[in-house]
């Protein structure tokens, strides 16, 4: 069982939680906790062994904790995801390989593309692919079709694996903090399109990638994971794109591992991430 708690901090919270879990004969095998002193906010992730009535545990914890406590109990670690793509295959291929060998930590329910280019790749892994074109449609019509397809799936998260379309506030609001995006830049630098060209023109010595939750603010959602690599004056924009694709795969894989293992807490526009 994985137990996630976020609430106002106060003295004795860990003891309070441990007492409730002990009452249900649960054994704590892992505990990670953090206090954001500036905001007086407590975050904790417990892993416990033992069977129990999860609803009763949650009720008792909510009663014992501060009134603003958010308590999530997730006895099933195997999540389901929907992946959205455009034409670039590098992030999708990495996800499909991990899915095939059961190392993703989730099951890919389907892939949705606004171009048909990656249908064959999905077919090779026996993963359903839905082609939904954005052409000759209003944004509302296009996103309506996307949402109809997504909502026909049972899923925990939506993954934008190089889905190169800006989503509307209405779409984002339908899946709050459930959509993970990979951006080809070390945010907040080079927000928006063509970040490698912008990085080249700026003459930077580092490029990177950022995985974040999607919000209404373009590329400014809570950051889950980031990495950088060194570049130099010999790198052309094409060289940066090639190097960037490798780091994009790595960062997205890391972010998904963290999210799918329930290691990420969101508070305001920041995250608390328990990596181990």
Question: Helices 13-23 and 54-64: crossing angle, nearest 10°?
Answer: 150
Residue 59 CB neighbours (<10 A): 13
- The question of whether 219 is a catalytic residue gets the answer yes
- Structure-block tokens of residue 31: 């505990």
- Structure-block tokens of residue 159: 């993954």
Residue 19 main-chain phi, psi, to 5 deg? -65, -40
Q: Which of 120, 219, 239, 262 is catalytic?
A: 219
Sheet holding 41-49: strands in order across?
Answer: 27-36, 41-49, 2-8, 70-74
Distance between CA atoms of 245 and 179, rounded to whole angstroms?
20
Catalogue the active-site residues. Answer: 219
């Amino acid at each position: 069982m994985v137990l996630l708690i976020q609430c106002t901090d106060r003295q004795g919270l860990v003891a309070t939680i441990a007492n409730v879990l002990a009452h249900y004969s649960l054994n704590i095998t892992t505990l990670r906790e953090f206090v954001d002193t500036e905001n007086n906010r407590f975050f904790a992730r417990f892993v416990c062994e033992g069977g129990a009535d999860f609803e009763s545990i949650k009720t008792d914890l909510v009663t014992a904790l501060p009134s603003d406590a958010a308590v999530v109990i997730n006895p099933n670690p195997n999540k389901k995801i929907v992946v959205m793509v455009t034409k670039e295959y590098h992030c999708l291929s990495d996800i499909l390989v991990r899915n095939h060998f059961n190392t993703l930590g989730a099951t890919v329910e389907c892939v949705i593309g606004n171009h048909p280019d990656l249908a064959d790749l999905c077919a090779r892994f026996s993963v359903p692919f839905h082609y939904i074109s954005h052409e000759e449609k209003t944004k509302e019509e296009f996103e309506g079709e996307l949402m109809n397809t997504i909502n026909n799936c049972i899923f925990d998260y939506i993954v934008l694996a190089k889905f190169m379309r800006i989503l509307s506030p209405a779409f984002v609001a339908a899946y709050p903090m459930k959509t993970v995006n990979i951006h080809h830049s070390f945010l907040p630098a080079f927000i928006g399109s063509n970040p490698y060209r912008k990085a080249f023109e700026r003459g930077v010595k580092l490029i990177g990638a950022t995985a974040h939750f999607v919000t209404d603010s373009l590329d400014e959602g809570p950051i889950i994971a980031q990495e950088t690599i060194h570049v130099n004056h010999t790198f052309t924009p094409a060289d940066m794109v090639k190097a960037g694709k490798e780091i994009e795969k790595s960062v997205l894989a890391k972010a998904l591992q963290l999210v799918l293992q329930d290691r990420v807490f969101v508070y305001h526009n920041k995250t608390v991430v328990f990596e181990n």
